[in-house]
Amino acid sequence: MPKRGIYKTIQFPVTFEGIGVHSGIKTSVELLPSDKGISFMKKGNDDITVCASIDNVMSTVHGTTIGNGKTSFGMIEHLLGTLLGFDIDGVTIVLEKGDEIPILDGSAIQIVEKLKKIMIVEKNIAQKNKELIIKRPFSFNFGKSFFAVYPSPKLVISYLISYEHYPELTQMQTLDVTLESFIKEIAPARTYAFLEWVEPLRKQGLIKGGSLENSLVYSKEGILNKTPLRFKDEFVRHKILDFLGDLSLLGRKIIGHFVILCGGHTSHIAFLKQLKEEYKLAEIGKK
């Protein structure tokens, strides 16, 4: 039976707008208070919603996409990672048009600034299994990626990235995930790509909205962007943001220390599905 507990949502609506990095479509997003967890809907079509659940993941190709066969929502990870960072349990996310959350500047800092201006409200309502405390180690291999999670009194992420053709970009970072650390150490980190990826991705019909204004682009000559890096290890910090967004799809507040080596959205989701099975988590919502 659901237990009553503290549930957090936003007091007032929040709106932001930008361009979809893959679609190139300019759109806006409105976050609305909700007592029913995190879900997505399209403007003018509020009878079809998609819960932010790992069971609803449809694609992990250059971003995480969820859907239900009738509609889909892509590039959700930065927004969901921010909601996790703010410990927000419920909002309804309304997308004006298209199928993609706007990329903004490639980071989550603009969403953070919007949320900082409003009040997060706490409610005492019935909810199921809000917290998952890791009580035993669990590890998982997926191709070249490795994942492990260990007992810890708090949420900690250790992430390593390494690229065969760019050994200088090997980066490792460990961060305790708190609201303060999320705002200062994680949210500002921008998404990135390698120059040799650009043309093949465009031939696939992707990154139509990609530019040096919303992505770091790296080549053999170094960073192509004229703006300086926000952190010397900005790349791996962005990976932590991506992982937090994917982690949020478990629908639980996780207490544990995650260690990830060379992950990506596909391996993140594969690991989290295995973790869900390991801990026998019930479906959060699938509709």
The beta-strand segments (E) located in the chain are 3-10, 14-19, 26-33, 38-42, 45-51, 57-59, 65-67, 72-73, 91-95, 120-127, 131-133, 138-142, 145-150, 156-161, 171-176, 192-194, 216-219, 222-223, 253-255, 257-261
Q: Which residues are catalytic?
A: 265
Say if CB 99 and CB 63 are below 8 A apart.
no
- The secondary structure of residue 143, as a DSSP letter, is T
Residue-wise DSSP of 175-236: EE--HHHIIIIITTPPPEEEHHHHHHHHHTT--TT--TTT-EEEETTEE--SSPPSSTTHHH
DSSP character at residue 23: T
179: which residues sit within 8 A by CB, 6+ positions away?
85, 86, 87
